[in-house]
Structure 1
Amino acid sequence: MDLTGFFDAFGEPGTSALGGLAIGIAFGIFAQRSRFCLRAAVIEFARGSIGIKVAVWIIAFSAAVFLTQAMLQLDVIDVSEARQFAARGSLSGALIGGALFGIGMVLARGCASRLLVLSATGNLRALLSGLIFAVAAEASIHGILSPLREKLAGLWTVGGRDSLDLLQSLGLDAEAGLVIGLLFVCGAVFFAVRAGLGLWGWLGAAGVGATVATGWWFTYQMSIQAFEPMTVKSMTFTGPSADTLMSVLTPPGSSVDFDIGLVPGVFIGAALAALAAREWTLQGFEGGRSMRRYIAGAVLMGFGGMLAGGCAVGAGVTGGSVFALTAWLTLTAMWAAAGLTDLIIDRLPKTSDTQVHAPQPF
């Protein structure tokens, strides 16, 4: 795809932001219609069921892995310079950050991408949680929480593509990624059929995975056609949420890029999907106790996502699709911590006072 015409019309940064906007809109539509959410999938699985929520997540994940690996095998993209492989990776950050993010998404009743999607459908609880998530992420990368993040990230690091590539670490050939992706697709089809997944569940979940692969493709095209250096990346929401927040708070004229277009795009896509399906409705908090829970969860997700180098989508799906070691460790930690948090916070016997003030679901 020749992007020269877009460069002439919008400039290289503008083209990058426009691509992020378009991919974000598609992601927002697909995620809203399929109810894609890692937190929902983990809780369903932790409570002994592999139903629609798990099926949706597995379809999205398997589609992202298979399509990305297929493009790698066909030399359509090259992710060797992506941040998952181009710098030292923090294993401690992946494990601790992933665990904190998993705890946070259970407390906040949604992962980062889900909060953004729900915000666009009129959910004020998700909107507030999402804003606090973005503030915590910014504080973790540039603010008061940055020293703690750097200290935890530096506890255990590894460097070099051989160490950061999960396939190479396991002694597998690059072609094994495509085979594993195909196996995930087969498993996803099996669980989706068994769960009786509806049409939008299939299309939306597969679309979510396809947008991740498309993000890799678009940013790679930018990197080889733009005059200025461009980073090869795909979908993630921790850093972009912080960047988008800061772009709103800073004077006009600040630089734009793929991430700045991504977050508004997801919001627009989810809002359009909700309006089309007549699902847009205002929702708020019911009591201070639940509000404290959501705020605590959002802070943990913001800090944990920055420490781990990605959110449930950024590490769990985007990083997982290229078999980045840190991403798979993060995803494992998210699943384990979220399942344990659900057990302790929401499933163990509660006092009568806690039951009276139990937080409402999104």
Structure 2
Amino acid sequence: MDLTYFLDRFSEPAILTAGGFLAGAMFGGFAQQSRFCLRAAALDFAHGVFGVRLSIWLFAFSAALLGTQLLVGFGEVPSQEARQLASPQSLSGAALGGVMFGIGMVLARGCASRLLVLSATGNLRALLSGLVFAVIAQASLRGILKPVREWFAGLWTTAEIGGNDLIAHLGLSQTVVLGFALLWLAAGIVIAIKAKTPLWQAIAACGAGLAVPLAWWFTASVASQAFEPVQIEGITFTGPSADTLMLFLSPAQSALDFGIGLVPGVFAGSFLAALFSRELELQGFEGGRSMARYGAGAALMGFGGMLAGGCAVGAGITGASVFAVTAWITLSAIWLSAGLTDFALNGRPAKTASAQPVVGTS
């Protein structure tokens, strides 16, 4: 991607912010239309329901994996320069943070990205939960919870196992990696056919997933042409949510970058998608007890996501797309803890088919 025209006329931070906004808008719009939600997919899977919601997650996940690895294979994205692979990551943080995030996701009835998407449609429960998530994420990144996070993160790191690159650890070829990604896509197609997933919903899910390789490609292009060092990155919401919060609280101390544009981009994309599909609707809390549950869940996700090095999208999809060991640990921990938390709260319901598109809950 030749960005010479823009780099000659605009600052690099401004270009990164604009790119983050566009990638976020793409993700937000498609996520809203597809009802993309890891919580819904994880709970359906835990209950033995292989239906619409699981197929949607599989489409988004496989699109991100396949798109990213194709770009890596063609030399467009130097994955070894990604934060997840270029520096030591926390294995203990990935496991514990993933568990905390999964529990919080069930309590708050949505992961960080889902809360942001729902906030834009008028869901005040999701909006307040998202603010709690951002505050705790900021406290964990630079505030009062930072020492606690660093202590847990330092218990076991990837430096002790020789790096965070799963492909290198397993000695996989690019062909095998692409084949692995295609297996996830095939699983999504099979489940979608059986569940009769609407075609537009499936396409939208793929669109949400493709926002991840788009982000990798864009930031890699800027990094290769910019004068100043630029970190290549995909889509994540824990760090950017904390940074966006600080932008509003202390603009003078905040720097523009890809993540700063990402969060408002997702909000805008989701809002426009809901507006055109006439799905804007104000929703609030039903009582104090539910408010406490949402707040506790958001807090767990804020700390857990920062400890794990990413949220359900940041670690679970973006990190997994470059095959970071910690990302796959986090993703597994989220799925497992979400299912166990739901069983603890609600018991195991009777197995039912889920063949109809499900409107996102929060």
TM (norm. structure 2) is 0.94
1:61 is displaced (CA, Å) by: 0.3
Q: Does 1:315 align with 2:312?
A: no
Question: CA–CA distance in 2 between the matches of 1:326 and 1:3?
Answer: 32
1:133 is displaced (CA, Å) by: 0.1
Question: CA–CA distance in 2 between the matches of 1:246 and 1:332?
Answer: 31
Question: CA–CA distance in 1 between the matches of 2:258 and 2:249?
Answer: 18
Aligned to 1:145: 145
1:4 is displaced (CA, Å) by: 1.8
Q: Contact 1:19–1:261 at 8 Å: present in 2 too?
A: yes
1:168 is displaced (CA, Å) by: 1.9
Q: Does 1:16 align with 2:6?
A: no
Q: Deviations over 1:287-318 (max 9, x none)?
A: 10000000000000000000000000000000
Q: Which runs of 5+ in 1 are unaligned?
A: 350-359
Question: CA–CA distance in 2 between the matches of 1:107 and 1:88?
Answer: 31
Q: Deviations over 1:209-232 (max 9, x none)?
A: 110010110010011011110001
1:170 is displaced (CA, Å) by: 2.0
Question: CA–CA distance in 2 between the matches of 1:315 and 1:294?
Answer: 22
How do 1:319-358 residues align onto structure 2 when only pairs under 5 Å count?
A: 319-347=319-347
Greater shift, 325-334 or 75-84, is seen at: 75-84
Question: CA–CA distance in 2 between the matches of 1:129 and 1:253?
Answer: 25
Q: Contact 1:166–1:323 at 8 Å: present in 2 too?
A: yes
Question: CA–CA distance in 2 between the matches of 1:253 and 1:295?
Answer: 28
Q: Contact 1:177–1:323 at 8 Å: present in 2 too?
A: no
Which amino acid in 1 is paired with 2:25? Answer: I
Q: Does 1:166 align with 2:166?
A: yes
Aligned to 1:49: 49
**C-alpha distance 311-345 of structure 1, shift in aligned 2 (>3 A):** same
Aligned to 1:127: 127
Which amino acid in 2 is paired with 1:104? Answer: G
Q: Deviations over 1:215-251 (max 9, x none)?
A: 1100100110111100011000000000000001113
Equivalent position SS for 2:231: coil
Which amino acid in 1 is paired with 2:9? Answer: A
Aligned to 1:183: 183
Question: CA–CA distance in 2 between the matches of 1:173 and 1:163?
Answer: 18
Q: Contact 2:123–2:283 at 8 Å: present in 1 too?
A: yes
Query: Between the two proteins, what is the percent identity of the paired residues?
Result: 58
Question: CA–CA distance in 2 between the matches of 1:84 and 1:179?
Answer: 22
1:62 is displaced (CA, Å) by: 0.5
How do 1:53-72 residues align onto structure 2 when only pairs under 5 Å count?
A: 53-72=53-72
Q: Contact 1:34–1:56 at 8 Å: present in 2 too?
A: yes
1:252 is displaced (CA, Å) by: 4.8
Aligned to 1:89: 89
Which amino acid in 1 is paired with 2:310? Answer: G
Q: Deviations over 1:183-220 (max 9, x none)?
A: 21112111111111112211111001110010110010
Question: CA–CA distance in 1 between the matches of 2:5 and 2:340?
Answer: 51
1:174 is displaced (CA, Å) by: 3.5
Aligned to 2:265: 265
1:161 is displaced (CA, Å) by: 9.6
**C-alpha distance 176-10 of structure 1, shift in aligned 2 (>3 A):** same
Aligned to 2:304: 304
Equivalent position SS for 2:117: helix
Question: CA–CA distance in 2 between the matches of 1:14 and 1:103?
Answer: 37
TM (norm. structure 1) is 0.94
Greater shift, 24-33 or 183-192, is seen at: 183-192
**C-alpha distance 289-180 of structure 1, shift in aligned 2 (>3 A):** same
Question: CA–CA distance in 2 between the matches of 1:208 and 1:275?
Answer: 18
Equivalent position SS for 1:278: coil
**C-alpha distance 36-361 of structure 1, shift in aligned 2 (>3 A):** closer
Greater shift, 189-198 or 154-163, is seen at: 154-163
Q: Does 1:290 align with 2:286?
A: no
Q: Deviations over 1:71-109 (max 9, x none)?
A: 111112111111111111211000000000000000000
**C-alpha distance 160-17 of structure 1, shift in aligned 2 (>3 A):** farther
Question: CA–CA distance in 2 between the matches of 1:227 and 1:347?
Answer: 56
Question: CA–CA distance in 1 between the matches of 2:192 and 2:151?
Answer: 42
Which amino acid in 1 is paired with 2:271? Answer: A
Equivalent position SS for 1:163: coil
Q: Deviations over 1:16-56 (max 9, x none)?
A: 00000011111110000000010010111111101000000
**C-alpha distance 76-118 of structure 1, shift in aligned 2 (>3 A):** same
Greater shift, 12-21 or 195-204, is seen at: 195-204
Equivalent position SS for 2:22: helix
Which amino acid in 1 is paired with 2:51? Answer: G
Q: Contact 1:87–1:160 at 8 Å: present in 2 too?
A: no
Question: CA–CA distance in 2 between the matches of 1:244 and 1:257?
Answer: 10
Aligned to 2:154: 154
Question: CA–CA distance in 2 between the matches of 1:73 and 1:259?
Answer: 25
Q: Contact 1:162–1:168 at 8 Å: present in 2 too?
A: no
Q: Does 1:38 align with 2:34?
A: no
Which amino acid in 2 is paired with 1:305? Answer: G
Aligned to 1:230: 230
